[in-house]
Structure formats: C-alpha cells, structure tokens
Amino acid sequence: MNIFEEARIKLTAFYLLVMMAASLAFSVYVYESVTVEFVKRYDVVQKRYEINFPGTTSSDGGTIFIVEDIYATRNNVLVILLYANVAILIFSGIAGYFLAGVTLKPIKKNMDEQKDFVSNASHELRTPLTSIKTEIEVALRDKDMNLSAAKELLRSNLEEVDKMKKLADYLLKLNKFSVDTGSLRMKEVDLKKVAAKAIGKRKVKAELKKAVVKGNEESITELISILLDNAFKYTLKNPKITVRTYANTLEVNDNGVGIPQEDLNHIFDRFYRAEKSRTKDGYGLGLSIAKSIVDAHGAKISVESKVGKGSKFKVVFGK
C-alpha cells in the first residue's frame, strides 16, 4: 500500500466518523422525541380510560388504545433508525472514499510531477557530469598528454559545464514562473511593443497590431522568445516564421518539421521531447516554461501542427 492509498483510507475513516456521529446524534434526537411523544399520548389515554372518557372503549367493552401497541410502535421506530444508520454507514463509506480520492488527487498529481521532475533533472545533470568525469579520468591515465591536449580537454569540459548552467537556468525559470507567480508585477502591456522587442534582429515576418493586455512585460518577452527559439530550432531550412499580435492574442507560426499528433498533448510537459527530429540537444523545458508563464497570466495557449507543414502557437490573454 502506497502513501496516498493509506492517506485515502485514513481520510475516508475520518469522513465516515464525522458522518456517523452526525447520523447517530440525529437518530438519538428522533428516538427520544418519539418516545417523549408516546409517553405523553399514553398518559392521556390512561387518564381517559380511567374516567371512562367517551371514545376510549369499543362497543364490546374493549379499549381502542392498547398500551402494547404503543411500545411496539416505539420499538419499530428504533429498528427503522438502526437500519437507516446501517444504510448511512455503507453510503458514507463509499462516498467518503470517493471524496478522499478527489481531495488527494491534485496532491498526488503534484507529488508525482515533483518526483518525475527531480528524477529527470538528475538524469540530465548526470550526463554532462559523467562525460566530464570520464574525460578527466582518461586524461589522468595519459602519461604523454601535452598542453594542446590539455586545452582541448578543458574546452570539452567547459562545453559540458555550459550545458549544466543552461539546465540550471531553465530550472530556475521554471521554478520562478511555476511557484513565485505572486511576485510578478502586472500592468497594461502592449503585445505589439513587447513582440517587437523580443523579435529584435531575428528574421521573421512581423504582423503586429496594438494589443493591450494585463501582464508582466519581462515574462511575456520571455514567452515570445521561447516560442521564437522553438520555431527556429525546428525549422530546418528556408525558415518562414510569422509573429502576429491582435486584440488580446499572440501567434507564432512556422513552416518547420511539425509535431506528430500523438505528441501534441505532451509538448508542455516537463522534460518531454518528441521524436528525434525535434530534440536538437534541448532539455524539453522551454515549452514548459512558456506554459507556466501563460498560466501565471491566466491566459490560454493552444497548438495547431501538421508534420512537414509547420506549427502555430496561439496565446490568448484575458481581457
């Protein structure tokens, strides 16, 4: 039994305890109320019988109200309440287990994501570290190593260090936009100006119209840069990349390799990389960061893509 199943059972037991306590309290109240009422009615009947009140005897001289019937009715009420509580117990157990699952589901999802994140990050860091370690060990065993070879080794090690630094920068950005979104200062931002800034000297077709949205200029610039980097990375030759801004919308279109249909639902997942033609030495974090920025702004991002035709990323900000 894993930790979440154990927690679910404990939470179910807690829900069940609360529900049954309320049910039993209500049952006791009903039973006592019925008993009090029966006692009152019994006293009235008894007094009427003692004074031979009209209507308390039948034509053959027998009593209409029989004391045993009153007590039998009270006992029947008790049995009914017991059955009702058993039914409530069963229903509460099933409902409590379901509610516990609903309560714990987002927590479990978050924990699973964190677990996968740590595992993937460790794997990505292990690769360059292993490469550096192997190169150094080989160099130390080389008794004829000269200055030129040593410099080549250092250059190779530096490339691996740069990879780790790049990954660390990605992780910091991902954490910033996933966790610390409350620190983002929101104000009115013109997507046209921000897009022009992000485009810079890149060779893209810009169809920019004024589009004022509420957001953080720095993070939106980062978002556009990520989408542009992604477009250039997967446009193998004769790139035709278009950036559009209009209303409260941003679009980045490319004529690249496209994304297979089975990968479209996963491209924003952390460390997810589609087919080999789309990896390009990336870490699978760029679009995850983009999605975090979009979520931090309460916006929506969608993708349309055809293999061999290109992709269109569309971000719609709130009004």
Mean pLDDT to the nearest integer, 183-203: 88
Q: What are phi and psi of 25, to 5 degrees?
A: -60, -40
pTM: 0.56
Q: State the Cα–Cα distance between residues 43 and 63, nearest whole angstrom.
A: 14
Candidates 309, 303, 235, 310; CA nearest to 263 is 303
Q: State the Cα–Cα distance between residues 241 and 219, nearest whole angstrom.
A: 21
Under 8 Å between Cβ of 135 and 153: yes
Under 8 Å between Cβ of 9 and 104: no
Candidates 258, 257, 184; CA nearest to 223 is 184
Burial 281-295 (b: 16+ CB within 10 A, else e): ebbbbbbbbbbbbbe
Tell me, what's the pLDDT at 100? 72
| 108 Cβ contact list (under 8 Å, min separation 6) | 4
In this structure, of 63-67, 206-210, 306-310, the range with the lowest mean pLDDT score is 63-67
Q: Which ranges of 237-303 does DSSP label H, i.e. alpha helix?
A: 286-296
Under 8 Å between Cβ of 83 and 90: no
Locate 28 and state its tokens: 């006791």
Confidence of residue 279 (pLDDT cuts 50, 70, 90): very low
Under 8 Å between Cβ of 274 and 259: yes
pLDDT at 52 over 60: no
User: H helices then E strands: how many in the chain?
Assistant: 6, 7
Tell me, what's the pLDDT at 1? 57
Confidence of residue 130 (pLDDT cuts 50, 70, 90): confident
Tell me, what's the pLDDT at 250? 95
